C-alpha cells in the first residue's frame, strides 16, 4: 500500500485543496496517470500518480490538506464498500464504526450526525446505543458554537432527539420568540431591526482557496513589513510618441503597452540599484542574482503575479510578447506555479482603469513594488507658451528594513529618467 501525500507544487505552498478526483474510489490507477486536481496558493494544478494500484481516497473533494499529509492510498485491491441498505453501525474499512462517536469531529469539521437512523430510548435520553447522540444537524452546529456537551442533554424531540431549543436552554440562552401577531387595523407594527437586519439580508460569499491565501499573505505583509512610499510624476510625452511610431511600423507585431515600457524601465534600473532587487530573510539582506519582474494581473475574483524572468536581458518587444502570453494564461486559468514564482520585484498598474495613482502592498519576500497610475493630460508652461503634457504618477512602496528614503528616491528617479527618454530602453 502506497500513501499519496499532498504534494508541494510551489515554493510557498503550505496546504492545498482537493478540487476534483479524476479517478473514482476503487478504480485502478496507472503510473503517471492524471489523478487529482489540486488548488494551491498559486493556481489549480493536475497531479499525476507516482505509483500504480487501486485507489482508496482519503481526502474528499473540497477538503484542504497540509503539504505532506495523506490524501489517498494505492493498494493491490479495492476495499469492499458497505452495502447501501446495510445497518448504520456497519464497520468501515479500518474496523471502526462508520458513524462518529460523541464529540468526534466528522470530515467537514462538525460533530458527526448519528441520527441517520432513529434508535428509541424509553427514558427520553439523547444517548443511543454505542454512545452516539440523537440530535438534529442544527442542534449539533449550535452545540459546537456554544460548547455544549450533547451527551449530557435530554432531548425533547421525537424518540429523545436533541433539538436546537434543548441546546440553547442548556447554554442558558433563550430561544427566539415566536412571530408576533399582526398589529390592530389602522396601526403599523413597529419595525424591529437588529444591527445586521438594518443593513438588509446579506449575501454570504465564501472566498475561494486562492482568495484566502491572498488575504492571509497581504495581512502578514501589512503586519510584519514596515513600509514607506515615495512618489513622482513622469512626463510621458516621448513614450507616447514612441509607441505611436512603433504602431506605424509594427507590421502586425504586438504593440508594447505603457506597462511594458514600465517593466523594461524597472528591469534596467534594477541593474543599477541591487538593494531594490532584494529581500530581507533570516535577518540578512538577500541580493538576488537575477532580475525577475512580476506583473500583477487581475483574474476573476483574484490577483495573480506571473513572472518575466531575466527581464533586464530581454528587449521591449520580447517583454511585450511574454507579458501578453502570461496574461492570457492567467485569465484562461492555465497558468502554472513555476510561472508565478521567482519574482524579485513587482509592477502593479491600475492606469487602464483610470486610476491616477496606486499605493500597492509589497509582495513578500520582495523588498519593493511599483504602483502605476493612468496617463493624464495637464497644461504646463514652456517658456512663454502653455502646452499640454502627458503625466503619469508612479509610487514605489519599499520595505524599510532593506531600503531607506534615499535608496527609493534614487531608483524612482532612474525609472522616471528612462521613461522620459524611452529610446534608451532600446539600447
pLDDT tens-digit map of 286-309? 999 999 999 999 887 778 999 999
Tens-place pLDDT, residues 323-375: 999 999 988 888 888 899 999 999 999 999 999 999 999 988 899 999 999 99
Neighbouring-strand partners of residue 302 = 299
pTM confidence score: 0.59
Decide if pLDDT at 384 tops 80.
yes
C-beta pairs of 112-117 under 8 Å, 24+ apart in sequence: 113/137, 113/140, 115/161, 116/88, 117/87, 117/88
Decide if pLDDT at 115 tops 50.
no
- Structure-block grid coordinates of residue 334: 492555465
Confidence of residue 219 (pLDDT cuts 50, 70, 90): low
Confidence of residue 102 (pLDDT cuts 50, 70, 90): very low
Grid-cell match 511599483, residue found: 370
Q: Check if the beta carbon of residue 227 is closer than 8 Å to that of residue 398.
A: yes
Q: Check if the beta carbon of residue 425 is closer than 8 Å to that of residue 271.
A: no
Confidence of residue 179 (pLDDT cuts 50, 70, 90): very low
Architecture of domain 2-75: Beta Barrel (2.40)
The whole-angstrom separation of Cα 112 and Cα 100 is 5
For the domain covering 103-174, report its CATH number: 4.10.320.10
Q: 424 in helix, strand or coil?
A: helix
The rounded mean pLDDT for the chain is: 79
Of residues 161 and 30, the one with the higher pLDDT is 30
Neighbouring-strand partners of residue 295 = 347
Q: Where are the domains of the chain?
A: 2-75, 103-174, 226-426
| pLDDT, mean of residues 78-82 | 44
**HEC readout, the chain:** CEEEECCCCCCCCCEEEEEEECCCCCCEECCCCEEEEEECCCCEEEEECCCCEEEEECCCCCCEEECCCEEEEEECCCCCCCCCCCCCCCECCCCCECCCCCCCECCCCCECCCCCCCCCCCCCCCECHHHCECECHHHHHHHHHHCCCHHHCCCCCHHHCECHHHHHHHCCCCCCCCCCCCCCCCCCCCCCCCCCHHHCCCCCCCCCHHHHHHHHHHHHHHHHCCEEEEEEEEECHHHHHHHHHHHHHCCCCCCCCHHHHHHHHHHHHHCCCCCCCEEEECCEEEECCCCCEEECEEECCEEECCEECCHHHCCHHHHHHHHHHHHHHHHHCCCCHHHHCCCCEEEEECHHHCCCCCCCCCCCCECEEEEEEEEEEEEEEECCEEEEEEEEEEEEEEECCCCCHHHHHHHHHHHHHHHHCHHHHHC
CATH topology of domain 226-426: Chloramphenicol Acetyltransferase (3.30.559)
Decide if pLDDT at 214 tops 50.
yes
Catalytic residues: 400
* pLDDT of amino acid 234: 97
Decide if pLDDT at 50 tops 80.
yes
DSSP state of 164: H
Confidence of residue 103 (pLDDT cuts 50, 70, 90): very low
Amino acid at each position: 500500500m502506497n500513501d499519496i501525500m499532498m504534494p508541494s507544487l510551489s515554493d510557498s505552498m503550505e496546504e492545498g485543496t482537493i478540487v476534483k478526483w479524476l479517478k473514482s474510489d476503487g478504480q485502478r490507477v496507472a503510473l503517471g496517470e492524471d489523478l487529482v486536481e489540486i488548488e494551491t496558493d498559486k493556481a489549480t494544478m493536475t497531479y499525476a500518480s507516482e505509483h500504480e494500484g487501486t485507489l482508496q481516497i482519503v481526502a474528499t473533494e473540497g477538503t484542504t490538506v497540509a503539504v505532506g499529509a495523506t490524501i489517498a492510498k494505492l493498494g493491490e485491491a479495492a476495499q469492499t464498500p458497505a452495502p447501501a441498505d446495510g445497518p448504520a453501525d456497519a464497520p468501515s474499512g479500518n474496523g471502526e464504526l462508520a458513524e462518529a462517536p460523541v464529540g468526534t469531529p466528522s470530515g467537514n469539521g462538525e460533530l458527526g450526525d448519528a441520527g441517520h437512523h432513529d434508535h428509541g430510548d424509553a427514558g427520553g435520553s439523547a444517548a443511543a446505543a454505542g454512545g452516539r447522540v440523537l440530535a438534529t444537524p442544527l442542534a449539533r452546529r449550535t452545540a459546537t458554537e456554544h460548547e455544549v456537551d450533547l451527551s449530557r442533554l435530554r432531548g425533547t424531540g421525537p424518540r429523545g432527539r436533541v433539538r436546537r431549543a434543548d441546546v440553547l436552554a442548556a447554554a442558558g440562552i433563550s430561544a427566539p420568540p415566536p412571530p408576533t401577531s399582526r398589529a390592530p387595523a389602522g396601526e403599523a407594527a413597529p419595525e424591529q431591526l437588529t444591527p445586521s437586519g438594518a443593513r438588509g439580508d446579506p449575501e454570504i460569499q465564501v472566498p475561494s482557496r486562492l482568495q484566502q491565501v491572498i488575504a492571509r499573505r497581504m495581512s502578514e505583509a501589512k503586519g510584519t513589513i514596515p513600509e514607506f512610499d515615495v512618489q513622482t510624476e513622469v512626463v510621458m510625452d516621448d513614450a507616447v510618441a514612441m509607441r505611436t511610431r512603433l504602431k506605424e511600423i509594427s507590421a502586425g507585431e504586438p504593440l508594447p503597452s505603457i506597462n511594458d515600457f514600465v517593466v523594461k524601465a524597472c528591469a534596467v534600473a534594477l541593474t543599477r540599484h541591487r538593494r531594490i532587487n532584494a529581500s530581507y530573510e533570516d535577518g540578512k539582506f538577500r541580493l538576488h542574482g537575477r532580475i525577475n519582474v512580476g506583473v500583477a494581473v487581475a483574474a476573476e475574483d483574484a490577483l495573480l503575479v506571473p513572472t518575466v524572468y531575466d527581464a533586464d536581458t530581454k528587449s521591449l518587444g520580447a517583454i511585450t510578447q511574454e507579458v501578453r502570453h502570461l496574461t492570457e494564461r492567467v485569465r484562461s486559468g492555465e497558468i502554472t506555479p513555476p510561472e508565478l514564482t521567482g519574482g524579485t520585484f513587482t509592477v502593479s498598474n491600475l492606469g487602464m482603469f483610470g486610476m491616477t495613482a496606486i499605493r500597492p502592498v509589497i509582495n513578500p519576500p520582495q523588498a519593493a513594488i511599483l504602483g502605476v497610475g493612468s496617463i493624464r493630460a495637464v497644461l504646463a508652461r514652456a517658456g512663454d507658451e502653455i502646452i499640454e503634457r502627458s503625466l503619469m504618477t508612479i509610487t514605489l512602496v519599499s520595505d524599510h528594513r532593506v531600503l531607506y528614503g534615499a535608496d527609493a528616491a534614487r531608483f524612482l528617479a532612474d525609472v522616471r529618467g528612462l521613461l522620459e527618454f524611452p529610446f534608451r530602453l532600446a539600447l
